[in-house]
Amino acid sequence: MLQQTKDCLHGETLIRFQRHQLRAVRGNIREEEVRFMVKKVSESALEQHTPVDLSKTLFSLTASIICRVALGQNFNESGFVIEQDRIEELVSEALLALGTFTCSDVFPGGLGRFFDWLFGVHKRINKVFEDLDAFYQHVIDDHLKTGAAGKKGIDSQADIVALLLDMMHKQGKKDYFQLTIDNIKAVLMNIFLAGVDTGAITMIWAMTELVRNPGVMKKAQDEIRTTLGPNKGKITEEDIDKVGYLKLIIKETFRLHPAAPLLLPRVTMSHVKINGYDIPPKTQIQLNVWAIGRDPKRWTDPEEFIPERFANSCVDFRGQHFELLPFGSGRRSCPGMSMGVASVELGLLSLLYFFDWALPEGMVSEADIDMEEAGNLTVVKKQPLLLVPVIHH
């Protein structure tokens, strides 16, 4: 009995490990990648009136952070196993495939599979995940070849692949939970697809709304620059908690523009009655957090971007208040919440401290910014966000 208990605890430790790593991403990596982003934007700012594609810039930021933390791969060093543009393509293709309607969804039997085969749906889906599998395998092989796994323990500063490989090598044959290479790839899939896209989307929408609302932008920058002081060489994670208004801006962005408008499906465990409708057990339920965030019964002026609505409110986004659920709630809430929010806070704080932002030539007013959405599982600004950075002295 004692051995079984130990085995169970070991299995639970492995499961908790993924959540712990997603919550406790090393701050120095975020800070380094954000500083690199600021450097690149500063170089563009030296060319007067030259717009920067913030959509691409912010995607590169989140992809760089995830790849360093999870995969031990650095975009900014030679020898990276895959081109950065290809990372963006893989994420987009995978999310599109995951959200694609298939005939098998409606007709689970042979008829559905036949039509999917006829239209090549499964072929396209399999192709993108074969490419991702090859990418993960390349990363794992690189760790095994260089000996990155096994040198450092679970409390070290190794990347997640190295830590998982180390755990796999040290597990016993009688352990309750047996970690395999396929398990490691599954963990990487969760981190990679969920981590790269969503953080970038949130920052893109936040900057879009700030440019469309100059009063909010000015208030945020005034607070940030007054609090942190002039001529600050770099922004650190310690600075995040000093600027309260930025946190209100991020909450309001989560409300108006949740990266995943439909949470992952849930299944009812027992019979429930909702608004007079009988919902039987094992029914798949979709939660539309986009609609909840714009519900006029819950929010005053729901279509307006007003961060101040959260100033004297206890409503938070961590799953305790059901009117704001960008990360879900309960045991199935997003395990990467802390990691994603920290990256968003640090990225936006740096963009607002170091730069003023202007509209590109040909755009008369903030109302000209295209707000059309695109996507299926995640919803991003359809047109890239192009803004002109001006270095603030």
* pLDDT values of the chain reduced to their tens digit, one per residue, 393 residues: 333 333 433 444 444 544 454 444 466 889 999 999 999 999 998 887 789 999 999 999 998 898 888 888 777 665 555 666 777 777 877 877 777 777 777 777 777 777 777 777 778 888 888 888 888 898 898 888 876 554 444 344 568 888 889 888 888 777 777 888 999 998 888 888 888 889 999 999 999 999 999 999 999 999 999 999 988 889 999 999 999 999 999 999 999 999 999 888 888 999 999 889 999 998 888 899 999 999 999 999 999 999 999 998 999 898 888 999 999 888 888 877 888 899 999 999 999 999 999 999 888 778 889 999 988 788 999 999 999 999 986
Longest CA span, the chain: 73
Cα–Cα dist 200/259, whole Å = 9
Residue 284 identity (one-letter amino acid): Q
Residue 393 within a domain: no
pLDDT given for residue 248 in this prediction: 97
What is the rounded (10 degree) CA torsion for 133, 139, 141, 142? 160
Q: How many CB atoms neighbour CB 279 within 10 A? A: 13
What range does the domain containing 98 cover?
Answer: 2-357+371-382
pTM as predicted:
0.85
Cα–Cα dist 346/36, whole Å = 13
pLDDT given for residue 80 in this prediction: 57
Residue 180 within a domain: yes
Q: Among residues 6, 22, 370, 33, which one has the least CA distance to residue 198?
A: 22
For residue 358, the cross-strand partners are 388
Q: Among residues 46, 74, 45, which one has the least CA distance to residue 60?
A: 74
Q: H-type helices in the chain, by residue range?
A: 2-23, 27-45, 54-66, 84-98, 103-106, 110-118, 121-146, 160-170, 181-212, 214-228, 244-256, 289-293, 337-354
Residue 364 within a domain: no
Structure tokens at 374: 């695109």
334 labelled binding-site residue: yes
CATH at residue 76:
1.10.630.10
Residue 149, burial from CB neighbour count under 10 angstroms (0-12, 13-18, 19+) = buried
Q: Give residue 343's Cα distance to chain centre.
A: 9
Instruction: Domain count for the chain, please give it.
Output: 1
Helix (H, G, I), strand (E, B) or coil at 71: helix
Helix (H, G, I), strand (E, B) or coil at 365: coil
Residue 73 within a domain: yes
Residue 387 within a domain: no
Residue 301 within a domain: yes
Helix (H, G, I), strand (E, B) or coil at 153: coil
For residue 266, the cross-strand partners are 285
pLDDT given for residue 194 in this prediction: 83
Residue 349 within a domain: yes
- Residue 264 has φ and ψ, to the nearest 5°, of -55, 140
Residue 218 within a domain: yes
